[in-house]
Amino acid sequence: MKIFVDEMFRNISRWLRIFGVSNFYLKGFKDKEIINLVRNNDGVLITSDKKLCLSLRRNCVFLKPSSLERELAFLSISLGISYSLNPSLCPICGDKLIVVSYSPPDVPPKVRKFVKKFYFCSSCKKSFWKGRHWEKIQKTYNRVMKIIEGSARNNKS
């Protein structure tokens, strides 16, 4: 399933990639172009544009803006996608990340001292690593998982 993310959800597009879910971020497209693109790929659009969602019907998930964690939990449930905490996609462009053990040139020296594993995007020429921000990512992941588990429990009873 090809996932398209409407322009207003840039943050969601990035977070989906951080959690290993590939998606196409739609920036600067007209509604008509979006409809054609999503339909031709039999994809699904994530948007909070009601009109656009109505035109796409089953090819759309209407995302009501709420907290980041609730939004991500809702998307996992409604799209049937699971998240992982293993960096595999570039959060910026969505391309596959390559694991490298040498320090790519854009890594600051003080990071090189402590980090031995890097994730490199050959499209953006950018490197990522599990630095201090990784803790925040883990916390967000855990909170999202809790909401998903909670809603699964509610559905059973």
Least separation in angstroms between residue 97's CB and Zn ion is: 8
Q: Is the dihedral of CA 96, 8, 67, 155 positive or negative?
A: negative
Give the bridge partners for 60, in sequence order: 45
Least separation in angstroms between residue 48's CB and Zn ion is: 26
Longest dimension (CA), the chain: 54
Question: Which phi and psi angles does 116 have, rounded to 5°?
Answer: -115, -10
Nearer to Zn ion, 47 or 127 (CB): 127
Least separation in angstroms between residue 126's CB and Zn ion is: 6
Least separation in angstroms between residue 122's CB and Zn ion is: 8
Query: Which parts of this chain interact with Zn ion (CB under 5 A)?
Result: 90, 92-93, 95, 121, 123-124
- What lies within 8 Å, CB to CB, of 84 at 6+ separation is 19, 20
Nearer to Zn ion, 121 or 148 (CB): 121
Nearer to Zn ion, 3 or 56 (CB): 3
91 neighbors 80 (Cβ within 8 angstroms): no
Nearer to Zn ion, 5 or 56 (CB): 5
